[in-house]
Amino acid sequence: MYDFVVIGGGSGGLACAKEASQLGQKVAVLDFVKPSTQGTKWGLGGTCVNVGCIPKKLIHQAALLGHSIQDAKYYGWNIPSDITHSWESMCDNVQNYVRSLNWGHRVQLKDKNVEYINAVGTLVDKHTVKTVDGKGKERLLSTDNIVIAVGGRPRLPDIPGALQYSITSDDLFWMTKPPGKTLVVGASYIALECGGFLTGLGFDTTVMVRSILLRGFDQQMANHIGDYMSNNGTKFLRECIPTEIKKTSTGQYSVTYSDKNKNTHNDMFDTVLMAVGRNAVTGSVNLENIGVELDTTSKKVIGGYKNNSERSSIDNIYAIGDVLYNKPELTPVAIKAGKLLAQRLFNNQTQAMDYQNVPTTVFTPIEYGCVGLSEESAVEKFGEENLEIYHAFYKPLEYAMVTERDVSQCYIKLICERQSPHTVLGLHLLGPNAGEVIQGFSVAVRNGISYEGIINTVGIHPTCAEEIVKLNISKRSGLDPTVTGC
Amino acid sequence: MVAEVSVEGYEAYKKAAEENKSKLVFALFCGSVNANGESWCPDCVTAAPVIADNLKHAPKDSVFIHCGVGGRDFWKDQNNVFRKDPVLKLKSVPTLLKIGHPQRLEEAQCAKPEMVKMLLEED
């Protein structure tokens, strides 16, 4: 008999399980990694640790370092011209680091007295979870409460060859040989990040985009990212969709695709990476049969019952993380929601998860950090006439002496209410270390900072972040937003 | 049954590890005992019976190296060979390692039966 069974050992599930156990509950967490379509497997910790944020950021850093080596010439370093990069040694180190995190999670669960069960969990009824391990051994767990934290997995387009020949982000970070000439299909942040770092590592990379970049994100910023990437070596095929992948006798993949005029084209690639979206993996949990309401298209758990964002239509069943319908799919969101849920259930706390003003960063070669509303959402919600949008194109000092560095997309946009007190609705930053900069500003935005609150703050010179507190040109004024000098 | 090997000092450890490199090797690093059998490292003393009890969980054909890292003064030198070794990178004693894998337990963790069992068992 358990108090609390968490299905899914990703960031959210683990945080929630540990918090509940610390509050004296008897807790089990179930995690079982079904191999990817290409057979890739990994350990405890979920997407972020194994096939998401962590390996992605490390490889992004590898690409940034390559750029820095080139910049270093301008700073007096004698750089040999024959510098090469080893995909194998990078991935070896990334994988060893990820494995150490897997182990660290297992140690923490033991330390916090959470039972880890390496098995798939299926609901038998609202208080019974059946577990099936890798050897087919079954167990029935009785529990008061259940948390669904099974997350999502990449989706493949339904075209001939995709299942057999394409890889996804589940496989990329665990590849043992370099990807070579790569086609990335998709325009999500995952597609652009992967396309960006592969270009940065020197691979011939093409991103195939069906319609717009970064759906749901501010489109002016998204298009700046596309421009930056195009100007810095990533090829784009716009308004194209793949129709078939075939393997050739040389081991390469022949990809057929059609453009907006329905004309058919073909090209050869060493690797085809699909990044067209992710599906919630609720399929094996048997949720609908016991009455948990799922969104019909996404198969995500609908929360919000009894005024509780994480509570499903069944009283004692909750959902957190990527599997919760209509909430941001971000590790820190899942962790915070999971901890708060445990505190409400087992410690008489009342604090709900605040899903508003969640900051995030897209780690494309030019990083994009944002918090709050996109310009499109702000216009829709408040009307253009009720907004004042400040913006600036700026030049990071670290690139000032590096003539080949392209800074034309280093840009900031601050969206404020036009009426006093000029509350900040959204902040968007393109440039180096955008994540580091936006994290701090997100504290202010979350706490209702006004435009004056931002610009009355003294900057730190010389930094990129100071350009935010110096913002003074509004879009409405039509003045040139290019920052010059100090 | 796991084969136990006891060694004293870094060179002896390296030799034992090299001799068994084709096998799965676990290594426990503890403060060395003096002529009277007394250890300067209380955590090592606490961990010893817990580890002994759980050795039965180690895969057969594996090797378990008990290594004394030396006296207290030698160990406390922040530049000693155990700390500087790029694979071992020891920070504390006792440390229990699965060589070539990320599995590592340090100090009080080595006295927790569940954690020791988890490290020694096959994945």
Sheet with A182-185, strands from edge to edge, namely A235-238, A205-209, A182-185, A271-274
Q: Do B109 and A107 touch (CB under 8 A)?
A: yes
Query: How is residue A60 written in tokens?
Result: 């992004």
Taking residues A157-162, what's their average pLDDT?
98
Q: Does B118 touch chain A (CB under 8 A)?
A: yes
B87 or A455: which leads in pLDDT: A455
Nearest to A110 among B101, B102, B114 (CB): B114
B105, B106, B118, best to mutate vs chain A, most A CBs in 10 Å = B118
- Per-residue pLDDT, averaged over A425-431, amounts to 98
What is the mean predicted confidence (pLDDT) over B2-29?
A: 96
> Structurally, how many domains does chain B consist of?
1
User: Where residue B110 sits, what CATH number does that domain have?
Assistant: 3.40.30.10
Question: Does residue B4 have a pLDDT over 90?
Answer: yes
Largest CA distance in chain A: 69
The whole-number average pLDDT for the span A166-186 is: 97
CA distance A294 to A297: 9
Model confidence band, residue B122 (pLDDT cutoffs 50, 70, 90): confident
Instruction: Pick the closest to residue A378 from A454, A464, A475 (CA basis).
Output: A475
pLDDT (tens digit, 9 = 90+) per residue, A2-54?
999 999 999 999 999 999 999 999 999 999 999 999 999 999 999 999 999 99
Q: How far apart are CA A329 and CA A327, in angstroms?
A: 6
SS3 A403: coil
For the A2-154+279-346 domain, the top CATH level (class) is alpha beta
Q: What is the pLDDT of residues A409-424, one digit of tens each?
A: 999 999 999 999 999 9
Mutate to test the interface with A, among B103, B109, B120 (most CBs of A within 10 A): B103
Q: Is B101 on the interface with A (CB under 8 A)?
A: yes
Contact: B102, A103; criterion CB under 8 Å = yes
Chain A nearest CA to B105, separation (Å)? 8
Q: What per-residue confidence (pLDDT) applies to A484?
A: 79
- Nearest residue on chain B to A93, alpha-carbon basis: B102
> Which whole number is the average pLDDT over A448-457?
98
Question: Is residue B21 pLDDT above 70, yes or no?
Answer: yes
Cβ B94 vs Cβ B47: under 8 Å: yes
User: Is the CB of A111 less than 8 angstroms away from the CB of B101?
Assistant: no
The answer to whether B118 contacts A99, with C-beta atoms less than 8 Å apart, is no
Average pLDDT, chain A: 97
The single-letter code of the amino acid at B38 is E
> Which ipTM did the prediction report?
0.91
pLDDT confidence of A444, banded at 50, 70, 90?
very high
Q: Does B54 touch chain A (CB under 8 A)?
A: no
Out of 3.90.1640.10, 3.90.1150.10, 3.30.390.30, 3.40.50.1220, select the CATH number for domain A366-477.
Answer: 3.30.390.30
pLDDT of residue B1: 85
With contacts defined as CB-CB under 8 Å, which chain A residues touch B118?
106-107, 110
| Contact call for A107 and B114, based on CB within 8 A | no
Task: State whether B102 and A110 contact (CB < 8 Å).
Answer: no
In chain A, what are the domain boundaries? 2-154+279-346, 162-276, 366-477
B64: amino acid identity, one letter: F
CA distances from A140 to A2, A28, A287 (A): 11, 12, 16
pLDDT at A486: 64
Closest residue in B to A115 (Cα) is: B114
d(CA A38, CA A158): 16
Query: Which residues of A are part of a known binding site?
Result: 57, 121, 186-193, 277, 322
Q: What is the rounded average pLDDT of the residues A113-136?
A: 97
Interface size A-B, in CB pairs within 8 Å, comes to 21
Range of the domain at B95: 3-121
List residues of B with catalytic annotation: 41, 44
Per-residue pLDDT, A228: 98
A106:B105 CB<8 A:
no
Which region among A131-135, A402-406, B75-79 has the lowest average model confidence (pLDDT)?
A: A402-406
Q: What is the pLDDT of residues A64-84, one digit of tens each?
A: 999 999 999 999 999 999 999
- DSSP helix/strand/coil, A59: helix
B117 touches A: beta carbon within 8 Å: no
**Residue A420, pLDDT score:** 97
DSSP conformational letter for A34: P
Confidence of residue A158 (pLDDT cuts 50, 70, 90): very high
Residues at the binding site of A for NAD(+) are 186-193, 277
What are the beta bridge partners of residue A152? A280
- What is the nearest CA distance from B103 to chain A, expressed in angstroms? 6
Give the architecture-level CATH label for domain A162-276.
Answer: 3-Layer(bba) Sandwich (3.50)
Query: Are B115 and A107 an interchain contact pair (Cβ–Cβ within 8 Å)?
Result: yes
Q: Which residues of A are annotated as a binding site for FAD?
A: 57, 121, 322
pTM of the model: 0.95
- Report the alpha-carbon angle A11-A344-A1, nearest 5: 75
Q: Which amino acid is at A67?
A: H
Do A162-276 and A366-477 come out as alike in CATH topology? no
